[in-house]
Amino acid sequence: MAQPNDQSKSLKEQLWDPVAGFGVTFRTMFKKVVTEQYPFEKMPTAPRFHGRHQLNRWPDGLEKCIGCELCAWACPADAIYVEGASNDESANGEGRFSPGERYGRVYQINYLRCILCGLCIEACPTRALTMTNEYELADNNRTDLIYEKSDLLAPLLPGMEQPPHAMLLADDDAAYYRGEFSAPAPAPTTAGDA
C-alpha cells in the first residue's frame, strides 16, 4: 500500500491539527506555575508519615531496645540486623545499657533495602523502634546508607545520662516497661555544680 503524500491530506489535517496541538501549550502558558522548589523550600510531611527509623530511650537515658531481634525477623526486605548481648553489671563489666537482661549491641538498618513498611515498628515489644518524619535518605555512597546504632539512637535530652549506668528510675525492669517510675530522672551534674 502506498504512503499518502502531502497533497492528499485534507485541509483540516494540514491547518487545524497543528493549531489545536499548540492550543494546549497556549492554554497552560499563562497559568500559575505549580513547581515546588524542593531543596530550598521544604514542605512539611504528614504527621503519620513513615520516614527514617529511631531507637528510643527511657527518660533516664537507658536504651529501650532489649536485643530481641523481632524487628529483624519481621522485616520482609531483610534490611535490619540486630545482635543482642547481655547486660553486665558486675564490677569488671561495662554496665547496663537497657533495663532488661539484654540490649542491642549491634543494630543496623540498610536503607538500600528498607521499604519503609513499618512492620518492624509493629513487632517491637518495648516501642524501642519508631519512625520519624525525616525523608531525605539519599546519598552518593552506598556504605553511608547502612545506618549503625549510633546513627539511629535518639539524642540525649536534659536529665538523661549516657549509658552504661544503673537503672535510675525503678528497681526492676518490669516497672520500666509498665511506666511505674519511682522518681524522675536526676539531672546530670557537672564538675562546676559542686
Query: Mean per-residue pLDDT for 55-60?
Result: 92
Domain boundaries along the sequence of the chain: 53-177
Select 53-177's CATH number: 3.30.70.890, 3.40.50.300, 3.40.30.10, 3.30.70.3270: 3.30.70.3270
Average pLDDT over residues 166-174: 78
How does pLDDT run across 71-109, given as a tens digit for each residue? Answer: 999 999 999 999 999 987 654 446 789 888 899 999 999
Predicted TM-score (pTM) of this structure: 0.71
Most confident of the ranges 12-21, 91-100, 185-194: 12-21
pLDDT given at position 147: 96
Residue 30 backbone zone (phi > 0: left; psi -120 to 50: alpha; other: beta): alpha
Alpha-carbon torsion (33, 39, 40, 43), positive or negative:
positive
pLDDT, residue 14, reads: 77
DSSP 36: -
Confidence of residue 8 (pLDDT cuts 50, 70, 90): low
Q: Sheet of 146-147: strands edge to edge?
A: 80-86, 102-110, 146-147
What is the per-residue pLDDT for 36?
80
